[in-house]
Structure 1
Amino acid sequence: MRFMSDSLLTERLSAILDALERIPDRFDGIETPADFLATKKGIDRMDGICMVLIAVGEALKQIDRKTGGRLLSRYPQVEWRDIIGVRNVLAHGYFDHDIPVLIETVRTILKDLQCLTT
């Protein structure tokens, strides 16, 4: 197993946090799950959120593997397996996304990962 350097780890974590910070802007003007599907802009926003979650899940999976599980285990209050699992569902579920579940999942992930910014 190849370990991740501290500088690369810091860079990846920063990229994850930057990406997650962009998600709330994509909810601007979205009141209900149907709002995502009402316009092309709404669909684009949903697609953007899904891509961020896929990238975050993949990055976390790599970080966990390359740190031998030592970093993520420092934050047991975060459901890492669930966050990484969202990536798998989105990446392999193709067009079978349940938008209300996606919205609730995003809110939960954002709340859970706030511990990384403190």
Structure 2
Amino acid sequence: MYDKTLVLDILHQLLEATEKIQQRFEQIETVSDFTDSPFGMERMDSICMQLIAIGESLKNIDKITKRELLVQYPEIDWKGAKGLRDIIAHQYFNVDAEEIFWVCEKHLPPLSETIRQMISDITL
């Protein structure tokens, strides 16, 4: 069995990170909103930092739970989320604004909802 308190702490941090991204993404309507101004680039930079934190935290959850927790929620591409962290962290100058936009628009809402469900499930 794993340390549920530690995992819950990490899940709450993950939820906070997804909420920060969603808040920062609210003013971004197109990919060019990221790329065509210093404001947009700052938004993308701050979102990428949160995505790195999310990916690293997911790796930690996998380690702490011996890969038993995330697999219970197959609706999320956990491997992709962790892999995005590696791409952003190691190939930062090649980060594709379209990919970050797509992740924020399509993947963050279900990730946030799944994290909420995980917190609820573990708390019960």
Shared fold by TM > 0.5?
yes
Distance across 2 between alignment mates of 1:99 and 1:52: 15
What's the Cα RMSD here?
1.6
Distance across 1 between alignment mates of 2:106 and 2:56: 18
Distance across 2 between alignment mates of 1:46 and 1:79: 22
Distance across 1 between alignment mates of 2:79 and 2:106: 13
Superposed displacement of residue 93, structure 1: 1.1
User: Does the alignment pair 1:84 with 2:86?
Assistant: no
Higher RCO (CA < 8 A, seq sep 6+): 2
Superposed displacement of residue 91, structure 1: 0.6
Q: Which runs of 5+ in 2 are unaligned?
A: 118-124
Aligned to 1:100: 98
More helix by share: 2
The answer to whether the 8 A contact 2:14-2:115 is kept is no
List per-residue Cα deviations over 1:37-75 (Å, max 9, x = no partner).
222221111001100000000010011011101111110
Aligned to 2:38: 40
Counterpart residue type for residue 117 of structure 1 = R
TM-score normalised by structure 1 residue count: 0.89
Aligned to 1:17: 15
TM-score normalised by structure 2 residue count: 0.85
